């Protein structure tokens, strides 16, 4: 457990990673599947660069529950990939900077390949995700399978909280608009 914690700490102290993006893949695993996804996203990155757009940077938070992709400045979660939905993880043996993982999207049920450029530590990140799998499996065995249900419930509740926060924000905006309209109406009707 301590080893993974140290790895996570080291990973978060490195420069943020370039996030090439995610793309749908037909298979949940395989080096050829990943290789095609990397080629596709590298090509898209070259096009964006030629248009003057930069590749976004992200931070990763790896735990026994999954991989969170965060905005490095705001720490806002952009993607939350639950560990039990990740079916494949690999670093690119021909390009030591690239690492990927395939995760089944919880809403669309499509397999998405997430691709990152890590400067120097692609292999270490892949190993850390592998260690997270090992620890999660050990925890699963120790809990007799009860932990998986708990994690599913937590994930469902987290998703519901995000939905309610978005709805709350939308309602606040509507209230603000109505208050503004009321003020305008009062100003026009005042003598």
Over residues 12-38, mean pLDDT: 86
pTM over 0.75: no
Q: What would the pLDDT profile of 110-141 be if each residue is shown by its tens digit?
A: 999 999 998 777 788 888 888 888 887 777 77
Q: Which two tokens stand for residue 43?
A: 């090509």
Could you tell me which of 112, 31, 101 has the C-alpha nearest to residue 66?
101
pLDDT digits (tens, 9 = 90+) for 61-113: 888 888 899 999 998 999 999 888 899 998 887 888 899 999 999 889 899 99
Distance CA 93, CA 98 (A): 8
Contact of 68 with 137, CB cutoff 8 Å? no
């Amino acid at each position: 457990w301590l080893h993974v914690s140290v790895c996570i700490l080291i990973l978060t102290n490195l420069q943020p990673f370039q996030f090439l993006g995610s793309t749908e893949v037909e298979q949940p695993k395989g080096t050829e599947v990943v290789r095609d996804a990397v080629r596709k996203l590298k090509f898209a990155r070259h096009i964006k660069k030629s248009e003057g757009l930069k590749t976004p940077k992200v931070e990763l938070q790896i735990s026994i529950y999954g991989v969170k992709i965060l905005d490095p400045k705001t720490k806002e979660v952009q993607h939350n990939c639950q560990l039990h939905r990740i079916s494949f993880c690999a670093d690119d043996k021909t390009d030591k900077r690239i690492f990927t993982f395939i995760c089944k999207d919880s809403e669309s049920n499509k397999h998405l390949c997430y691709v990152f450029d890590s400067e120097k530590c692609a292999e270490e990140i892949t190993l850390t995700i592998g260690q997270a799998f090992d620890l999660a499996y050990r925890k699963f065995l120790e809990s007799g399978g009860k932990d998986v249900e708990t994690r599913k419930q937590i994930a469902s509740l987290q998703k519901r909280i995000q939905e309610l926060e978005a709805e709350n924000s939308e309602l606040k905006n509507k209230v603000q608009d109505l208050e503004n309209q009321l003020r305008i109406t009062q100003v026009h009707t005042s003598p």
